[in-house]
Amino acid sequence: MYELSSPSVSKKQLILEIRGKGKISCDLKRHLSPRTVGTIMRSLPLEGNAHLMGQSILYFETSVDSGIERARSEFKKGDVAFLPSSGSVCFFINDVSSGKTMTPIGKLGDDVDVLKTAKSGDVLCIYEDTA
């Protein structure tokens, strides 16, 4: 189901799991925000309860502490970003022009619509695919 790419220093292939509902491939891209992506990679696996910000952003809070890096406020469906103020990893269900600036950290795989099945309180987990 998941294609394993050759190991790359600039891209790390992970799995985003919505416990009991599905899995999506998730690439963290070091060139987008090297410091933040490095910090997150050293903190894996990460797990937390899902929260929704409107209809467009699914996120979960982590203990990762990293300041803003290469700040952006516009994101496309499937983008992954880090919100430093709460230590949250954010997944974009739709295109968003947000009032909050976030650090871009990666991209989700093809089946982004699985995110729409998540409800507040569901457990989200992001980890390396070791299979």
- CB of 28 within 8 A of CB of 9? no
- CB of 28 within 8 A of CB of 106? yes
pLDDT at 4: 43
Residues of the chain with pLDDT under 50: 1-8
CATH 2.60.40.10 fits 13-119, yes or no: no
pLDDT at 1: 40
pLDDT at 9: 58
The whole-angstrom separation of Cα 109 and Cα 79 is: 9
Q: Which residues face 58 on adjacent strands?
A: 52, 91
Over the range 60-94, which residues count as b (16 or more CB within 10 Å of their CB) and which as e? bebebebeebeeeeebeebbbbbbbeebbbbbbbe
pTM: 0.88
Of residues 25, 9, 1, the one with CA closest to residue 126: 25
- Domain spans in the chain, listed from the N-terminal domain onward: 13-119
